Structure 1
Amino acid sequence: MRHPLWGRVQEIYGEDPFLSGWLTEAYVTGLQGDHPRYIKANAGCKTLAAHSGPENIPSSRFSFDAKVSERDMRLTYLPHWAACINAGSMNIMCSYNSFNGIPACGNKRLMQEIARGELGFKGYFISDWEAIRFIYTGHKYTKSLMEAVVLAANSGVDLELPGKDPAYKLLYDAVVNGLVRSFFISFPFVIN
């Protein structure tokens, strides 16, 4: 968090990347436990990566675009994500806002290149509540809801946290029409 007037500040510890990472690691480890076969709970970290912003002033957090330099991303926003992943978190939630012009739940660089590639995340991505729909309605980044679904699925969003009208209900048609390349992930942490 960068500003105390942004909404939902109480949900995160944003003062210090090292402290946030330390608390994140302890939280994930405490929830999931250390049993080699069974987990106590599925820990998830939210919301990737430079989340939040104004609470509807001057723009909505459903369409806010966080402009983040590469240096700021590496020094401020990614350390606690590395801690979350290193602790073995099984899921990460992508955020409502855009990240340098691309909606977070459609941002392949954040999810695939950085989280999976650089940081070694092996779990699943879930959208924030209706965040896939907001790619189309809030950010106006795509021309249709189907395009938003295709963008999210191809960028790495495995599950949708839907509202009353799930966007991922269009996923079947997207797969049948060859618009989604590879959707289903393997879970290397599941022991048969």
Structure 2
Amino acid sequence: MNLFSEEKQEFHLPDAHLVYIKNCFSKSESDMYFNTLLKNTNWQEDDITVFGKTYKQPRLTALYSNTDTSYSYSSITMHSQPYPEEISVIKQRVEVLAQHKFNTVLLNLYRNGNDSNGWHADNEKKLGKQPIIASVTFGEERPFHFKHRTLKDQRHKVMLEHGSLLVMKGLMQKHWLHQIAKTKKDIGERINLTFRNLISI
């Protein structure tokens, strides 16, 4: 089920609240940010361990913050770098539209259809009990799938387009899982910036 079709939609689901803004950034802005981030980001590829097996994470990542911090997930610990100017500018617009302040951003580079992010929730303790996550997409559009943990009829998707913003609120990270699935289609690169607010624990 595709929930979103307009320039901006706000949708209340069981235990979750989402806002999707199709054209958060113009085509020219999105092209510029994509090329700049692709070239200038210090991308890293970490090893990830699942069910006792270790392999390369199927995407490249980078962490930026306005404080010297670390972020751990799926047996990976990342250490932040200071915001470059272009991410600071992106962050300012996202904060206005999301009506929320963020202190950290995790970047993901999906190089092709083989790069993915499996079913998960952004529910690490450092994100707090009801985290607000703002996700910006530059480059190739990819479908964002999400499903409720217990309500089996609640499965949805939204196509994350070039220059779009998706904001996840409420109890979504507690009650829902989401993913960027692999695809056999011949597709190009996508950069995803997920803004979040890390707390001290």
Band the TM-score falls in, shorter-chain normalisation: under 0.3
User: Relative contact order (C-alpha < 8 Å, sep 6+): which is higher?
Assistant: 2
Which one has a larger percent strand, Structure 1 or Structure 2?
Answer: 2
Query: Normalised by the size of structure 1, how large is the TM-score?
Result: 0.27
